Chain A
Amino acid sequence: MLNSKIPPGKLEDKWTDYKGHVKLVNPANKRKLEVIVVGTGLAGASAAASLGELGYKVKAYCFQDSPRRAHSIAAQGGINAAKNYQNDGDSVFRLFYDTIKGGDYRSRESNVHRLAEISANIIDQCVAQGVPFAREYGGLLANRSFGGVQVKRTFYAAGQTGQQLLIGAYQALERQVALGNVTMYTRHEMHDVVVIDGKARGIICRNLVTGELERHFGHAVLLCSGGYGNVFYLSTNAMGSNVTAAWKAHKKGAFFANPCFTQIHPTCIPVTGDHQSKLTLMSESLRNDGRIWVPKKKDDARRANDIPEDERDYYLERRYPAFGNLVPRDVASRAAKERCDAGYGVGTTKQAVYLDFKYNLINKYGRAEASKQGIENPDTETLIRLGKEVVKEEYGNLFDMYEKITGENPYEVPMRIYPAVHYTMGGLWVDYELKTSVDGLYALGEANFSDHGANRLGASALMQGLADGYFVIPYTLGNYLAGEIGTRPIPTTHEAFEASEKEVKERIDKLMGIKGKQSVESFHKRLGKIMWNKCGMARNEQGLKEAIEEIRALRKEFWNDVRIPGDIMEMNNELDKANRVADFIELGELMCLDALERAESCGGHFREESQTEEGEALRNDDKFMYVAAWEYKGESNWQLNKEDLVYEEIKPTQRNYK
């Protein structure tokens, strides 16, 4: 049933062979083929631009007022590529290996290898577009390191890498709009996929300004709609990030893979109160230069700077000497939780640890600057002053953001941080060609489950989104569309469009008709609490079973008591939110089901029943070496399909960062 269509041959030859033999569409025929791209973040903008350049007729959609505002814009730290500019032993194989290992051996070898192969082209493409990456004094590109690896392969633009990459893709996209190859629909939200004779042939969307429902035809549909971290209510995702597009596709036959694989990022600004609407990330790149610690004494009430060196517990350096502060995210997050649960947390809520820059500010940057400027025997104050200037260049915007939010100056006192929901490795199941289990329906970027297994390494999401959009889909989509050159555009009066639109309309009418008492926001918050407490950093059988019951009850209550003011045929933000939250509630149930079914720990999925004596995640490869691809069978009813993971190149071992 599940055919991942991995090409035959040796791992390192698969992609080259595939490209050499894939079917092509000639330029004249491309102009007759229409492609729908839902979402214009890094994955969608790069795909839409590249397909437009090839000559396809592209229609692209986003819910913001401009493609430049997609959630990708917020990515901070950087993007990986196996360039080996640093001469420190990097290679395609090493990037491939690190990613598979970082993902705790739950991703597909062939896809990850392709990603590593393509990574270098992405940097070249971005530089050519004018992405102003950080550079060394010699004018060449600079690199920093990220968690889970021992080489420096991350390219960056201060703490605004996502912004710069997205602007590059956005500009390429707008160029195609100007050339008439892409039509851009902003403030549009997809509400359904239209499937005709087993093939995706279009979408229904709501014009968010007028409230009208619209029908759009395409020979193929690409979903590039991002991740679903907001199911937890509080996350580092943008407020509008949602699962609706992927979820509607799921209900139309696309399998949802590994939904429980979520990434909790170790370094975020902690929750302060109930009013909080979102959590803010402090980039992983800060772990290059920041050291994480808690006091050795329980309930130590002293201020951070008053705690002497020998009374601090640098617990990551203590537990994982080989990787220290740069262990992968799942490991770092659990270690922070462990310390806080044991009573060593800091700050008013005791749910925080310190991220301290003083040591490197003085010893790394301060000393280097002093020696550059020929200052002999500098005192500590001079070192701090010099170090600050360098740190400002590297991370200035993050430090400013921290200060605006907390009112504290991180150059003077250590940051307080705590793990928060950040990224979703799970997503729509796709084969090697990025096609879902519905013909003609593709998923790219964070919306698919593809490359990160049970835990994503830092700076690899931007890489994957752009790989999918710039370099994979232009080939794999052609392989499908070559068979569609005889298909004339289907009029949107077709009964399948009628039926889809009717379904969407009925749901909206139903939502507006409830006229209950509780706000959408209040339901979303409650869902988030259930998910965070029972399907968050640590999970167990009993908790997951309870969560499923609670979510079912919440769904009932939502559909009986939600209050949505305003009208349908106008801009109505509450209605938009209600549509999204209704889908999140359904997804939440599936996530818990998936987490319950996977009775092992791997990567970000930590089942308390399955751990080593030292409290590390314990995999069970005999039973769970598969991708769980869930098929929708009706309300609260799913069938599990398994894609077995076969490792030809790498031998899975227990991950060790000690």
Chain B
Amino acid sequence: MNLTLKVWKQKNKDTRGSFETFQVKGISSEMSFLEMFDVLNEQLIEEGKEPIAFDHDCREGICGMCSMYINGRPHGPWHGTTTCQLHMRAFKDGDTIVVEPWRANAFPVIKDLIVDRRAFDHIIQAGGFISVNTGNAVDGNAIPIEREKADQSFAAAACIGCGACVAACKNSSAMLFVSAKVSHLALLPQGAPEKKTRVMNMIAQMDKEGFGACTNTGACEAVCPKEISLENIARLNQEYLGSSFTSDKV
């Protein structure tokens, strides 16, 4: 199939970007969306032009590196799918596809479709861990964990830190990401001792990084490639309220 692409081009974080239009030909429906970009980039190099910069690594939907805002939707049209797992079967001959980077104050554009997501690491640094040094652990089976709890914890821990939730949110809130981490750890007995400080510190850091407030529109859940559930936000709110009432650090 032949396609028209309108892609955001921006030299670096200090310059202003704009859309450029490209034509690609001979795209097969078996290709992944990023392989279509590979074809386009090879074509640009051939023509002596600069290729389009985009983030990607695993191309298996697990590293969270790929991050394209495709036709008004983070990661494109397929539900529960990262950009790299989106395949060209989703499009048809003659389509025009608009591709932009994530847009959020906390995620400045570095080049073209690449943004800086270090704010997520900072939130983890604020409390997204269990404080246990290497060598401190007891036997893995010493504390049985209810299977349902373990499964819920795992479902939250499946977050790949891609930032699509932020990109989809009109307030650029990072609530789904933060709640996934809070839930992952709070649901496990190992995470319980730091439950209160964790949620307070992570929320405080989220605000500091410039992410917006959550107004429960649910846009994040709809685009999350790992189908992280809004229930996590409810759980976070509970944890947060519980902590603010009981924490003497408020």
Contact = CB atoms under 8 A, between A and B. Distances in A.
B85 A404 contact: yes
Contacts of B53: 571, 573
Interface stretch (A94-102, A163-171, A357-365, A444-452): A163-171
Interface string B96-124: 00000000000000110010111011001
B144 A138 contact: yes
A401 B125 contact: no
Nearest to B86: A404
B12 A570 contact: yes
Contacts of B132: 125, 128-129, 172
Nearest to A53: B133
Q: Interface size for chain B: under 10, 10 to 19, 20 to 34, or 35 or more residues?
A: 35 or more
B63 A69 contact: yes
B interface, by DSSP: helix, strand, loop or mixed? Answer: loop
A74 B62 CA distance: 6
Contacts of B248: none
A174 B125 contact: yes
B215 interface: no
A136 B147 CA distance: 6
B42 A521 contact: yes
Interface stretch (A103-111, A273-281, A589-597): A273-281
Interface string A246-286: 00000000000000000000000000110111101100000
Interface stretch (B32-40, B165-173, B232-240): B32-40
B112 to A, nearest CB: 9
Contacts of B210: none
* Residue from B61, B62, B153 having most chain A Cβ neighbours under 10 A: B62
Contacts of A571: 12, 53, 110-111, 114
A401 B50 contact: no
B129 interface: yes
B59 A277 contact: yes
A407 B130 contact: no
Contacts of B34: 277
Interface in B1-48: 11-12, 28, 30-32, 34-35, 38-39, 42, 44-46, 48
A281 to B, nearest CB: 8
Given A239-B56, A565-B45, A404 B118 contact: no
Contacts of B141: 85, 140-141
B184 A132 contact: yes
Interface string A36-56: 000000000010011001000
Interface string B54-83: 011111111111000000000000101100
Given A141-B140, A565-B51, A573-B53, A275 B31 contact: yes
A479 interface: no
Nearest to B130: A130
B145 interface: yes
Contacts of B124: 170-171, 174
A278 B117 CA distance: 25
B161 A277 contact: no
Interface stretch (A60-68, A330-338, A599-607, A650-658): A60-68
Interface in A564-598: 565-566, 570-571, 573-574
B154 A164 contact: yes
A423 to B, nearest CB: 15
7 contacts: A66-B161, A121-B135, A140-B141, A175-B125, A405-B87, A570-B11, A570-B12
Interface of A: 46, 49-50, 53, 64-71, 73-74, 83, 85, 121, 123-130, 132-141, 157-158, 160, 162-164, 167, 170-172, 174-175, 177-178, 184, 186, 209, 238-240, 272-273, 275-278, 280-281, 400-401, 404-405, 407, 470-471, 474, 519, 521-522, 563, 565-566, 570-571, 573-574
Given A135-B144, A160-B62, A565-B44, 4 more contacts: A66-B161, A130-B129, A171-B124, A238-B57
Interface of B: 11-12, 28, 30-32, 34-35, 38-39, 42, 44-46, 48-51, 53, 55-65, 78, 80-81, 85-87, 89, 110-111, 114, 116-118, 120-121, 124-126, 128-141, 144-147, 150-151, 153-154, 157-158, 160-161, 184-185, 188, 190-191
